[in-house]
Amino acid sequence: MLTSPSMKITFCCTDTKPDLWLSGLQAALPQAEVSLWQPGTPPADHAVVWAPPQQFFDEQTQLKGVFNIGAGVDALLKLRLPPGALVVRLDDAGMSVQMAEYVCHAVIRYFREFEGYALDAKNGKWAYRKSPQRDDFSVGVMGLGVLGERVAKSLRAFEFPVNGWSRSAKTIEGVQSFCGEAQFNEFLSKSQVLVNLLPLTPDTQDLLNRTTLSQLKPGAFVINVARGAHLVEDDLLALLNEGHLAGATLDVFRVEPLPPEHPFWRHPKITVTPHTSARTLRETSIAQIVGKILALEQGAPIAGIVDAVRGY
Ligand code: NDP
Ligand code: OXD
């Protein structure tokens, strides 16, 4: 038997239909007791969560593992968590390939002017557009973690010059590494496209603002796929309207769903998608989480443990 017969798993995921998660977890952990959390649920050993209420942690004080069904833990870390619990984020689980698709699509759409061709086609216009020189078209990826590294490598496969910015220096073939505050301005000034894949922490909140975005090359393009609170929305709008920025593709917003009256919806230089660049894949995620629960129960090391002080 792989798990103790009394092991209890509780599931508390806002905005997520629970049934297939519960049956999937139960099938993968037949000896465990898997339940949907509701107020008063007896203490569990491990929790599978997304945006749970504070009451959940106030009651579930004996958790050993808190498994977030996403990569970003910014919302989770705002709560008071049980002191003994390890917080574990999803570690790729099928998200990095989706993120690479999304970002490469957005970059290539801008580089090859496919939006302009689509407009021309609507008007029956047959005309060539001149793409910029690839060598002058540097893409800067902020955050070179699980997702950012995959995105940077995928962009390299299209032979774009790629720079990356992270806290610590990285060695990724073909990608120039910049790190820390000291190298941030240089990184920005080299970027024709800026891709944000940072975690949301006190250090990174509002980091995409007038001062930083003004340092991008003239006519730069911004892709935000991390969190809405990284971006000062009015500053982006001003720089687009003044012409310093050419456009933006935004998947995440300060308020989600993006309110109907928000100017981003109708701005001609902004493409909006509904926080969909890398979706959580249920079956892959269950397999990963169950593998980690079993490893933890056996005292084995696992990847993806969040450092609450660092914030990611
Ligand atoms: P990781 O934790 O694996 O990577 C984070 C990267 O950011 C690391 O390279 C880290 O540097 C760097 N970093 C953190 N803080 C700073 C800082 N202050 N200055 C410079 N670099 C910093 O995260 P993931 O790649 O898995 O995910 C990134 C984010 O993407 C998530 O936090 C989430 O918000 C977002 N996301 C969005 C999705 C969507 O559908 N839109 C889906 C999934 C995730 P170092 O390596 O040196 O530690
Ligand atoms: C995540 C997300 O953090 O979906 O995984 O945004």
Per residue in 162-195, pLDDT (tens digit) is: 999 999 999 999 999 999 999 999 999 999 999 9
pLDDT of 6: 84
Q: 129 and 141 in contact (C-beta within 8 Å)? A: no
Q: How far is the CA of 143 from the centre of ligand 1 (A)?
A: 5
Q: Whose CA is nearest to atom 2 of ligand 2?
A: 70
> Residue ranges of the chain with pLDDT lower than 70?
1-5
What are the backbone angles phi and psi of residue 49, rounded to the nearest 5°? -135, 155
Atom from ligand 2 closest to the CA of residue 95 = 5
Nearest-angstrom CA–CA distance, 256 and 46 = 28
Closest CA to 230 of 202, 210, 204: 204
pTM (predicted TM-score) = 0.97
Q: In what order do the strands lie in the sheet with 65-68?
A: 33-36, 8-13, 46-50, 65-68, 86-88
Proportion of the chain above pLDDT 70, given as a percent: 98
Residue 198 in contact with ligand 2 by CB distance below 6 A:
no
Residue 70 in contact with ligand 2 by CB distance below 6 A:
yes
Atom from ligand 2 closest to the CA of residue 275 = 6
Tell me how far the alpha carbon of residue 203 is from its chain's centroid: 16
Q: Which two structure tokens, joined as six digits, stand for 295?
A: 């490893």
Q: Whose CA is nearest to atom 3 of ligand 1?
A: 145
The end-to-end CA distance of the chain, in Å, is 34
Whether 244 is catalytic: no
Nearest-angstrom CA–CA distance, 43 and 58 = 11
Q: Which residue(s) pair with 271 in the sheet?
A: 249
The best mutation among 50, 105, 167, 310 to test binding of ligand 1, ranked by most ligand atoms within 8 Å of the C-beta, falls on 167
The best mutation among 95, 146, 224, 282 to test binding of ligand 2, ranked by most ligand atoms within 8 Å of the C-beta, falls on 95
Query: Between the CA of residue 276 and those of 35, 101, 103, 251, what are the distances in Å?
Result: 28, 12, 12, 7
Whether 227 is catalytic: yes
Enumerate domains of the chain plus CATH numbers. Answer: 8-93+280-297 (3.40.50.720), 95-272 (3.40.50.720)
Q: Is 34 helix (H, G, I), strand (E, B) or coil?
A: strand
What are the backbone angles phi and psi of residue 146, rounded to the nearest 5°? -55, -45
Label residues 24-57 b or e (16+ Cβ within 10 Å = b): bbbebbeebebbebeeebeebbbbbbbbbeeebb
Closest CA to 8 of 38, 40, 41: 41
Q: Whose CA is nearest to atom 5 of ligand 2?
A: 70
pLDDT of 37: 98
